[in-house]
Amino acid sequence: MNTYVPKAVQDALDTARLQGMKKKSRLRVMADDQLIPVLRMWKDGFSVEANAAPMLRGLVDIYDGARHMSQCLIVASEEEGGEMRYEFKRSTPAADQAPVDFYKSPDAPAGLIPFDQSQGKI
């Protein structure tokens, strides 16, 4: 049994599917100071609407709402059904503090209180 779907109907179905994915996702990708909604994201990449974004390439930042999730080096993979797919070459999770290059003991003091020896007081 062959099923034939007219091109106009297929285009309408693709548009409705993309609109539904855009409403569900809070993810955004920032490239060249432009925020682009992410339709889907998986372990090795993500997809955006093909006509909403320029051809992305290189270093981008991925946000979940206002929270910076990761910084990624991407390459375009393929376009299918109105979606442009990108693959990660590198994905580095964003951190809210700088990494340290020394061991921090879990029972280390939070700070030091100066002692004034002339007064004999803290």
d(CA 106, CA 40): 39
pTM, entire model: 0.64
Least confident of 2-16, 38-52, 87-101: 2-16
Instruction: Tell me the C-alpha distance between 49 and 71, whole Å.
Output: 20
Q: How confident is the model at residue 71 (pLDDT cuts 50, 70, 90)?
A: very high
Structural domains of the chain in order of their starting residue, each with its CATH number: 26-93 (2.40.10.430)
Buried b (16+ CB within 10 A) or exposed e, 34-65: eebbbbebeeebbbbbbeebeebeeebebbee
